[in-house]
Amino acid sequence: MSLYAQYSEYPFSIKKLQMTYQCWSLKDQPELRLSDWFNATTDSTHMDMRVTNWSAPIVWTDTYNESVLADYYTKYPVTVGLIVFAVGRYLLYYLGRFLESANRFFMVNQKVIFYIMLDDFSHMPWIDLDRHRTLKIFKIKQARRWQDVSMIRMKVISEHIEEHIRREVDYVFCMDVDQLFKAEYGLETLGDSVAQLHTYWYKESPGKVPYERNESSEAYIAAGEGDFYYHAAVFGGTATQVLRITKECAKAIMKDKKNNVEAVWHDESHLNKYFFLHRPSKILSPEYCWDLSQNKTPDIKTVKLVWNFKNYELLRNHL
Ligand code: 5GW
Ligand code: MN
């Protein structure tokens, strides 16, 4: 009977077995040091933008050593989750091509679980996935206003990480679906908490970026404060950290709602406040989320992910 009780308390989980195994073998697992894989030496094109003043690496195309990373994660494998929302017309227009490109370029040769949050199972596109890739599909409710779609994301993500994702993956990314992978997006992007530099603002000083300036919002950042402006279309980290990020953002969003306040850039404003208070341990260059309609400057070498085109008429009329 007690055996049965134990069994039902700890249902079978591969991730748990892996964790147990990792505990046994933890002594043998050397930590991957930054200097082993990251080249912090600044060249003229990056204008001193390779390491932050709190010592977090800013990952650009020519800063990482792919083979060192591949060797390390072959010895100590990880599973990476990718959470994406696709509701209403975004499901029809973007999900298929987003997933096809992710299958091809996201964490090649690593174990990946795609978590798809959608509002209509019957519109789920059929995708041929490579080995090591799994899809999990969840149904969420249709939002009443378009602003709510991005706002409920934080809450829904935190609930799913808490309920199951944290036992299934080591690292997890959350991304907008209106994007396409264009080149390998790999192990160099993994870290405790990972933030994405925004294409439009990465060369601006903090005084000029669109942080929330309404003092009554939880997302408020005072003039002159802040480090970088981060794009909410990509963020990630360990499952534990992403749980913390999304929980805090969801809490702040709810608080604002109660006070009848809405930050101008919605969840992005709150994400920026979170990363201002809890600085990310790794930052991705704009090559990891580029807007192709921007002119490329010499610092943008290999674009790994781009914004997909938007037809606002078509996309937004339904909400
Ligand atoms: C629709 C109209 C306005 C705002 C958001 C939506 C919307 C967003 C939607 O109808 N369905 C949907 O799945 N989303 C999810 O939220 C997508 O994953 C989308 O990529 C993400 C953020 O919304 P975006 O991409 O319209 O936001 P921006 O900042 O890229 O314009
Ligand atoms: Mn988007």
- Kindly state the average pLDDT of the residues 269-296: 96
The minimum-distance atom of ligand 1 relative to the CA of 178 is 20
Q: Which helix (H) or strand (E) holds 264?
A: none
CATH number at residue 220: 3.90.550.10
Distance in Å, CA 250 to ligand 2 centroid: 19
Query: 91, 97, 99, 149: which to mutate for ligand 1, most atoms within 8 A of CB?
Result: 149
Answer yes or no: is the C-beta of 171 below 6 A from any ligand 1 atom: no
Count of domains for the chain: 1
Answer yes or no: is the C-beta of 265 below 6 A from any ligand 1 atom: no
For residue 93, the enclosing domain spans 2-315
Cα separation, 264 vs 177, whole angstroms: 21
8-41 pLDDT tens trace: 444 556 666 666 666 565 557 889 999 999 998 8
Report residue 220 as tokens: 């408020």
Q: How many Cα atoms within 13 Å fall on the side-chain side of residue 259?
A: 15
pLDDT, residue 3, reads 47
Q: Are 183 and 313 in contact (CB under 8 A)?
A: no
Cα separation, 164 vs 144, whole angstroms: 27
Cα separation, 209 vs 272, whole angstroms: 11
Say if residue 314's pLDDT is above 80: no
Answer yes or no: is the C-beta of 85 below 6 A from any ligand 1 atom: yes
Q: Which helix (H) or strand (E) holds 284?
A: strand 282-284
Q: Are 138 and 115 in contact (CB under 8 A)?
A: yes
pLDDT, residue 265, reads 94
> pTM of the predicted model, to two decimals?
0.91
User: Can you point out the beta strands (E) in 14-168?
Assistant: 58-59, 79-86, 111-118, 133-139
> Three-state SS for 31?
coil
Answer yes or no: is the C-beta of 154 below 6 A from any ligand 1 atom: no
- Residue with the smallest CA separation from ligand 1 atom 4 is 146
pLDDT, residue 312, reads 72
Pairing of β 58-59 and β 282-284: parallel
Q: How far is CA 301 from CA 15, 71, 285, 286, in A?
A: 37, 25, 10, 10
138-158 pLDDT tens trace: 999 877 676 677 678 999 999
- Kindly state the average pLDDT of the residues 199-226: 96
> Three-state SS for 10?
coil
The minimum-distance atom of ligand 1 relative to the CA of 179 is 20
Choice between 67 and 295, residue whose per-residue pLDDT is larger:
67
Averaged pLDDT score across all residues of the chain: 90
75-119 pLDDT tens trace: 999 999 999 999 989 999 999 999 999 999 999 999 999 999 999
CB atoms within 10 A of CB 273: 22
